[in-house]
Structure 1
Amino acid sequence: MLTENVIEVEKHVQAACDRAGRSRDEVTLIAVSKTKPVSDIEEVLTTGILDYGENKVQELSDKYEVLPKNIRWHMIGHLQRNKVKYLIGKVVLIHSVDSLRLAEQIEHEAAKADIVMPVLIEVNVAEEESKFGTTSEAAMQLVEAVSKLPHIKIRGLMTIAPFTDNPEDNRIYFRKLKQLSVDIKSKNIDNVDMDELSMGMTGDYEVAIEEGATMVRVGTGIFGKRNYQI
């Protein structure tokens, strides 16, 4: 069942790439495995997907311990500063850096581990009160401040678009994030790349790809509905 879901999602990813005149290898499909058991991830692994996203540090750490070490884990949920130390060395990318204080904590822990931690700056493009992320207006200032931290590498931007029944409604937000990344890139800030745009989820990832997403975060489309009672 999950294998069939992956095949279906892959078809849609490829179709969106075709429509946008992009190569399929420009887009990383991240399987969002939050609340899902290890057995589900093991099944999806058989399809060749190696990138997995988790929202909670404890759940990511637990899965990290028992699953193959070639998995590329992504922290995509809101990150509390006191949990950063449990992530360093386990994740390939933190998508949700939304404040200088959080970045400074990541810097502290990454320095202790003697690594450079790749991150994305989370931008609340739609300015939803229920969502985390810096504003589009403040994003440039945050990027400039975080860029001065030697054990962090800014790789790009991330956003969580509003939940909507019509994916076209979110095209404007994806377009805005893409334009913001172009504006930041044009500043040629040291220690800042704008190679990655993490945007688009199960309901709207095709539109996100059409607007330049390099990473799409698909949970329900692969694993089915989540059980939040766990």
Structure 2
Amino acid sequence: MSHLSERIKEVELRIEQACRRAGRSKEEIKVIAVTKYVSTETTLAAVKLGLAHLGENRWQNARGKWEALDREAEQGIIYRPTWHYIGSLQTNKAKDVVGKFTYIHSLDRLSLAQAIDKQAAQLGIIVPCFIQVNVSGEDSKHGLEPDQLFTFVEELAQFSSIKPIGLMTMAPYEAEAEETRPVFRALRELRDALNERAQAANSINTVTELSMGMSNDFEVAIEEGATWIRLGTVLIGKEEE
């Protein structure tokens, strides 16, 4: 627990320093603790230390943690954390995720939007989603191509149980984090261009959030406008299986 607390404090300091360099407030940055490489016990410890947002990329791996933390919250032992689904989501798995994960960070195709919308409508909820954009163009990355974004957003208007709130991307892993800057800058510029289009059309459907930056590059992402950063090993660590 003490080692985890030290990690959290170190990350908070680095966030503060990045915000200072960018002329931003630390309150603008929200941290998602990615728990995919740690146990339920470590995840519970993280929540007890104040990490209120948890991220997982597969329901089958998250299920045990979700159920354990849900029981703890029901008993009043912990505050209920907010779950974020951050991995590529198969259409047939939407029913497992919607209603348990408050946010979905990987909306990238209409078939998935339809599946999310259908499940959300059955539950009577609206799901805040990030649209995933493959800014780097890597074949190994999921997401829309940047030039598909504007049309995709227009098509999302047909789904009343989905609320697009921002964009998400993953930068290539670089030994030097500075090399990721063009990717993050491009996502911010896409968001701004999307909002300019909305304003020109007298639409109130603007997006404000940018989910970008991970353990290796989150400081650069903050400098380029990230509002949500997804941190695993640097924050929570990695345990041997």
TM range (shorter): over 0.9
2:65 partner letter: K
1:124-157 deviation line (CA, Å, top 9, x unaligned):
0000001100011111111111132100000000
Q: Which portions of structure 1, spanning 4 or more consecutive aligned residues, are displaced by more than 4 angstroms? A: none
Alignment check: 8 A CA contact 1:52 1:73 kept: yes
2:170 is matched with 160
How far apart are residue 224 of structure 1 and its match? 2.0
Secondary structure of the residue that 1:78 maps to in structure 2? Answer: coil
Q: Quick check: 2:4–2:235 contact (8 Å CA) kept in 1?
A: yes
Distance 2:204 2:211 in 1: 19
Stretch moving more, 42-51 or 179-188: 42-51
Q: Please tell me the root mean square deviation across aligned C-alpha atoms, in Å.
A: 1.4
The equivalent residue for 2:144 is 134
Match among 199, 220, 228 for residue 207 of structure 1: 220
d(CA) in 2 for partners of 1:215, 1:198: 5
For 1:176, the aligned partner's letter is A
* Alpha-carbon distance between aligned partners in 2 of 1:111 and 1:170, rounded to the nearest angstrom: 38
Q: Distance in 1 between matches of 2:204 and 2:89?
A: 22
Aligned pair in 2 of structure 1 residues 83, 191: CA closer, same or farther (>3 Å)? farther
Structure 1 counterpart of 2:214, one-letter code? M
User: Aligned letter for 2:146?
Assistant: S
Q: CA deviation at 1:226?
A: 5.3
Amino acid corresponding to residue 145 of structure 2 in structure 1:
T
Q: State, as a whole percentage, how many aligned pairs show the same letter.
A: 41
Partner-residue secondary structure (3-state), 2:99: coil
Instruction: Give, in whole Å, the separation in 2 of the partners of 1:38 and 1:169.
Output: 34
Corresponding residue to 1:217 among 190, 205, 230: 230
> In the alignment, residue 186 of structure 2 is paired with which amino acid?
K
* Counterpart contact for 2:38–2:237, Cα < 8 Å: no
Q: Choose from 29, 42, 52 the match for 1:50.
A: 52
What is residue 86 of structure 2 aligned with on the other side?
76
Query: Partners of 1:61 and 1:150 in 2: how far apart?
Result: 27
Question: Partner residue of 2:76?
Answer: none
For residues 209 and 158 of structure 1, what CA distance do their matches in structure 2 show?
A: 13
Unpaired segments ≥5 residues, structure 2: 74-79
Pairing of 1:83-98 with structure 2 (within 5 A): 83-98=93-108
Asked which structure has the greater CA Rg, the reply is: 2
Q: Is the 8 A contact 1:200 1:209 kept in 2?
A: yes
99-108 or 57-66, larger mean C-alpha shift: 57-66
**Counterpart residue identity of residue 89, structure 1:** G
- Alignment partners' CA distance in 2, 1:31 and 1:193: 26
User: 2:39·2:239 contact (CA, 8 Å) conserved in 1?
Assistant: no
- Aligned-residue offset at 1:199: 0.2
